[in-house]
Structure formats: C-alpha cells, structure tokens
Homo-oligomer: A and B are copies of this chain.
Amino acid sequence: MLENKNTQRTTLAELGEFGLINHLTKHFTIQNSSTFKGVGDDAAVLKSTKKQTLITTDLLIEGVHFDLSYMPLKHLGYKAVMVNLSDVYAMNGKAEQITVSVAVSNRFSLEALEELYAGIQLACNTYKIDLIGGDTTSSTKGMLLSITAIGTAKKSDVVYRNTAKPTDLIVVSGDLGAAYLGLQVLEREKQVFQVNPKNQPDLDNYTYLIERQLKPEARKDVVEILAELDVKPTAMIDVSDGLSSEIMHICSQSNVGCKIYEDKIPLDPQVISTCEEFNMDSTMVALSGGEDYELLFTVAISDFDKIKANPNFTIIGHITEKNQGINLVTRADQEIELKAQGWNALKE
C-alpha cells in the first residue's frame, strides 16, 4: 500500500552538495517578517525582536525513530517538522523558523529526497514556518534527520515545566494513545505483508490511528485558543513520550505531586475498540504510548470555567503537594503510583 512507486532515479552525487540544497529548497518561500536572511550564507539571520527566542532540536534516525517500509517519505518530512514545532508550542510560543539537516545513504535517489522535502514544505506552508538553513550529506547507513525549530514569545507568555502549583488543574488537549496504536497496526500489516505480499490490507477500522501515527499535527491552535480564552497555563509540556512520562516531568520539575483520574483520560473510540482487539489496556496505551503531540498543561483553579466547556480540552486531574506522590486514581477508585514507561530510544 505505502511502498514508493517512484522508479525514476537521479544520483545525489550528480548534483553535489550545494546544487542539492538549492534544488530542494528553491520552492520554499519566506513567510515571517522575522526571517531576515534564510538559506545561502554561513548562517541564517533573524531580525531583532522584543520577544524572547525559543530554540529546540530533535534527531530522527531510520530504524530507531521511523521505518520507511510503512512511513512514506512525504509523511516523514511532515512529521519531523511537527515533532519540533510541538516543542515550541509547549512553551506557549509561536514557531517561525526551522533548519533541516538530512543525511542519506546512496540507496536514496534525488526523487526520494524531493518527496521528503515536499512533506517538509507542506508543513512549513500549513504552519507558516520558514526553512532558513541546514545541511545535506551522505550517511553510511539509512536516513537521518536533524531539525531545529526557532520561535518567539513575549517573556510574560512563556510557560515552563517547573511552575505548576498544588490545586492547579491538569488539562490535556485532544485524545491520547492513538498514535501508538497506529504504529501497532502498521507493524502488524508489515508482518502480514512479509508473509504474504499479495494480501490486501483492510485498514478502514484504523484510519484515525494511522493518521495520528503518520501525519500528526502540532497543536498550534491550542496556543491560539488559550490566548483567546485569556488563560496562561501555569506549566506546559507536549506529549511525545506518553502521558505518564510527561506528567512526571512537570511534577518533578515543579516539586509537586498529582492525581490523574483514569476515567477522565480522553480516548478515541478507535483506541478503545483496537485495544480490545489487540488485548491491550487502553489506559496503559495512553499513559505510555507516546507520539500524541498533544499539549499537557496545568491551569489555576480560577480558570476552571474557561476550560471546562471547551471541546479541545479535558481536565484529567489536579496538582497536589509533593508528599502525596504522583498517582493515578483508577476506575475502581484505587490510587496507584505512576511510573514513567515512555519510549526510551536508548534501550538495547
């Protein structure tokens, strides 16, 4: 279903490094007035600003973070940008620029890189981001991507992880667990395909899960909605490694505890039905799955009325004193201590 049907092949050496960068970036346009000079010099130049500058970076490696047997290159490019923008939004900032470094082995053609950059460009156009620099080189194995995102925020708007306070409400945008289940579905199809390449997969029951895995969206809209609601979160983080790991970051850095209520965790119906099919616990999937790229934040209890009715948000618990620990209150009303079981790229 997702294999690359592109049969044209232009070798990268024919273009050379500078020709390649020019070729891949020539259709990108500058959309932010803060970008003074983009690709083409020793460094990119950003205009001076009265705001603070936000910088975040992520490294994505084939075989560790993505599998090209079911991740189309255009989707990979899009997702790699999302992963980075999400970190800027998690600071309550506006993402404005990215740099993109790519290394590929000689198994990749120019057409493959064009697909990757088409996804990067779609992300840039949709989120109004300028590509301002990067590096293109060869690797000895597979593809790897290193993206740095740059954003701005007024100093008084920046939201950190270490400023949650007891009694604050814990809120999450969207729903959790779908991206992880999407990965499980794709992995299963890959196994089936390897055994019987003629098998036509029926993925109609998993469309939302697969979209969340292959084409996640960073929650730029949440930052805008919060501004419209006149709510400044007391702490915020994006959900890349799973709810459990993220709430533990907020609690440990803020020196507080929390209670998360199992029955409040937002789950899509496809997550519930697919968990049943896969014989998995949906709460565990939401807690430890990761790659949701939703925003997890805390707000003062005085903001309850502004948040409670908003369909983008779910209140899933509250912050406590540190000595109360970091706990999940189960549907059976039992408290169990949360442990980070998020994804660990260093596990052997």
Name 7 A/B residue pairs within 8 A (Cβ), A-sorted: A36-B155, A37-B160, A41-B161, A44-B56, A45-B53, A55-B150, A101-B146
Which of A9-17, A273-281, A302-310, A327-335 faces chain B?
A: A9-17
B-facing residues in A49-80 (Cβ within 8 Å): 49-59, 61-65
Question: A58 contacts B101, CB within 8 Å?
Answer: yes
A135 at the interface (CB under 8 A from B): yes
B-facing residues in A323-348 (Cβ within 8 Å): 344-348
Chain B hits for A132, CB < 8 A: 55
A173 at the interface (CB under 8 A from B): no
A101 CB → nearest B CB, Å: 4
Q: Which chain B residue shows the least CB distance to A253? A: B40
Question: A139 contacts B43, CB within 8 Å?
Answer: no
Chain B hits for A151, CB < 8 A: 43
Complex: how many Å from CA A141 to CA B64? Answer: 11
Question: A91 contacts B140, CB within 8 Å?
Answer: no
Chain B hits for A48, CB < 8 A: 49-53, 155
B-facing residues in A122-144 (Cβ within 8 Å): 132-142, 144
A344 CB → nearest B CB, Å: 6
Complex: how many Å from CA A34 to CA B65? Answer: 33
Please pick, from B13, B103, B348, the residue contacting A61 in the complex, using a CB distance under 8 A: B103
